Amino acid sequence: MGSRAVIADGQAAGAASAGIRASLQVAASAATIWLAVQAGWFLATGHGRHRVESAGLLFGATWLLAISNRTRLPVTPEPSNRSTPAVAVLLCAVIAIVFAAAVRAGLLSDDYSLVSGFAICGRPVPWEFFRPIPVFLWHAIADAAGPRTGIVLHLASLGIHAVNAALVYRLLAHAGCTTTWAAGGAVLFAIWPLTAEPVVWISGIYDLIVTLAALAYIALAATGTRGAWRATIPLIIALGSKELAVVLPLLWIVWGAGTGRLRRTAVPIGVHIALCGGYALWRVTLGGSSEVLPSEIGGLVVKNLIVRPFAALVLPFTAGQLAAWSAGLLVVYALVLTSAVLLVWTRPSATPALAWRGALWILVASIPAGQLLFVGPELEGSRYLYLPSVGLAVIAAAAAQDLSAIAGRRTVLAALVAIALSSALVLRANVSAWSSAARERDRVLASFDPARSPGGAPPDAFDLPDRVGGAYVFRNGFPEAIAWHFGCDALARIEPRLP
């Protein structure tokens, strides 16, 4: 009698679990349809962005819950090291092709302040941030490279970006993705349209270094207690490069959750959290930085912190691109949402755990930017999403791996290649805006060249351009640019007339 009762209880529990799964599947499917309707209206008319954001938030929550109620991530063997060099060569080749035009863009806007060590002709320039490592390195490189500074620094940025992409591949491969899909996720990270600003703009080096340190931190912490203590080195480098580094221990908690590794690294990670907390307290109370934690917390602020990163990452286009390609984007996003529904109604193996990790990575990595995290219509400010974009690569790789078991490996691989090629073309267009900004910089500087204008620059030359599209020209750094190109005497002659 007792065994029958146990069996009956088990059957009842199974029926209840099946009912919960079915409810979540229906809810996620309904949320997907609602998001498709709102997104279609927005792409067709350009209105109703806030409704798309709300629908996207509902979709994301129900989708994650629905796939998490299906299965859990199985333990898979780590990848063969033999595939790593080939993937690294692929990533370097892709980055070299897509970013080729960036090498000759030269210095723009804040770049001049960076290479001058935030000083003009020996006079220090007030600066609210504490980022000694990139400032020291780039100033030292500028002193050594001389007139080739722009090319050298652009090559350095591209090199760091390539290393970051390789580390994303390693992260995905060790998390259970096979070589093909881990490489696909890394390629998408490398050429996602939002990477133009942090990679092409030399001042984006802060985000590149912090992301490099974050990925190294995760890789070291994943090896155990000793590795977690060694991860103190990239943590210190990150804290000396940009304030958003305070989230690195939290990113490890997100990544290590459910793997059994958090307990082994509890002591060193606790020390790191205390270190980051003290640093954040110092920067907020004494340093006055606006890039450590949000300055205020409220319902709208929380919603923006959740919605804005995802909205910008999945719609990485300028306003002009959205208007011009609305029909094609409707088809693409319809296929993406259809794939999301397939994952809800089947039995994914990689997606649940990695999707949660990727989504939480995006959220946690976006917190320090707070209210600054606003990507403009020309993708201004997209550098703040460079570290969060790792989370998008994680979600994409896991979803592609599971979809290959449903729709076939060749079909999903062809779709992934098509997305990568489209992304590369959009990114090339975004990179070209920085080339246009470089030409505008040259035009402006020619007006101030003492050799060409011995009588001084005309009055209209002082109407300095802020940007070309999403590429900055002289938002900042103009006095440093004059001193850099023409010397301190030239700056002294025009400085009284500067706005």
pLDDT of the residue at 300: 59
In a 3-state reduction of DSSP, which class is residue 19?
Answer: helix
pLDDT of the residue at 69: 55
What does 459-497 look like in DSSP terms, one character per residue? GGGGS---EETTEESSSS-HHHHHHHHH-HHHHHHHGGG
Question: What residues in the chain have per-residue pLDDT under 70?
Answer: 1-19, 67-82, 286-303, 347-351, 370-372, 451-462, 498-499
72 within 8 A of 352, measured Cβ to Cβ: yes
pLDDT of the residue at 294: 54
N- to C-terminal Cα distance for the chain? 90
Give 20-41 as a 3 state SS string.
HHHHHHHHHHHHHHHHHHHHHH
Dihedral pair phi/psi, residue 290, rounded to 5°: -100, 10
| Helix, strand, coil distribution of the chain in percent, nearest 5 | 75, 0, 25
What does 49-69 look like in DSSP terms, one character per residue? HHHHHHHHHHHHHHHHHHHHT
In a 3-state reduction of DSSP, which class is residue 416?
Answer: helix
User: What rounded mean pLDDT belongs to the chain?
Assistant: 83
What does 418-456 look like in DSSP terms, one character per residue? HHHHHHHHHHHHHHHHHHHHHHHHHHHHHHH-TTT-TT-
Dihedral pair phi/psi, residue 167, rounded to 5°: -70, -30
The model's pTM is 0.88
The single residue listed with the structure tokens 């220090």 is: 124
pLDDT of the residue at 286: 65
Measured from the Cβ of residue 303, the count of other Cβ atoms closer than 10 Å reads 14
- DSSP structure class, residue 378: T
pLDDT of the residue at 368: 84
360 within 8 A of 391, measured Cβ to Cβ: yes
Dihedral angle sign, alpha carbons of residues 329, 335, 340, 344 = positive
176 within 8 A of 76, measured Cβ to Cβ: yes
Sequence-separated (6 or more) residues with CB below 8 Å from residue 278? none
Rounded (5°) CA angle 179-200-444: 170
Domain boundaries, the chain: 82-300+361-436
